[in-house]
Structures are given as C-alpha cells and as structure tokens.
Amino acid sequence: MAEHHTGPAEVGAPMDYKEHEQTYIMFLAAAKYGTLFLVALLLGMTAGFFAGAGFLGGLVVMLIVFIAGLVLLR
C-alpha cells in the first residue's frame, strides 16, 4: 500500500530561487511602505479631526510624516 521512495522529495519543475527571493524582497518593501502610509494617514486624520487642524492641516501632517518616514526608512 504505502510506497517507499528513496529518491529526492522534489517532484515537478525545479524551484527558481532567484525569482522567489525577488518576490520576497518586493513583499517586504510593500509591507514596509504600506505600513508607513497607513500610519501617516492615521496621524493626519487624528490631527484633522481631533486637534482642530481641519482637512488641509491633516493633509499637511500626513505628507510631513510620510516624507519623513521615506527618508528614515531608506
């Protein structure tokens, strides 16, 4: 019933490790900059809604935080 294989466990097409590594690097970059954008957006919304800065003030806060984050995460 059970077959005992003594050969390699990989079957099918060989793995493209270079492509796998590039995909992982792109995923990490998307997660890093996506998180930065969401944090900047939330801080801008907080400044706009609760600190009385209004829409333009919140937008300015969001842009400042986002640009500062881009410089720091480079």
13 belongs to a structural domain: no
Nearest to 55 by CA among 47, 63, 67: 47
pLDDT at 69 over 70: yes
The DSSP 8-state label assigned to residue 15 in this structure reads P
pTM over 0.85: no
Residue linked to tokens 């939330």: 42
Domain count for the chain: 1
1 belongs to a structural domain: no
10's tokens: 């990989």
C-alpha distance from residue 5 to each of 2, 12, 19, 29, 38 (Å):
10, 15, 29, 40, 50
Whole-number pLDDT of residue 36: 97
In tens, the pLDDT along 3-62 reads 776 766 666 677 788 999 999 999 999 999 999 999 999 999 999 999 988 999 999 999
12 belongs to a structural domain: no
Whole-number pLDDT of residue 65: 97
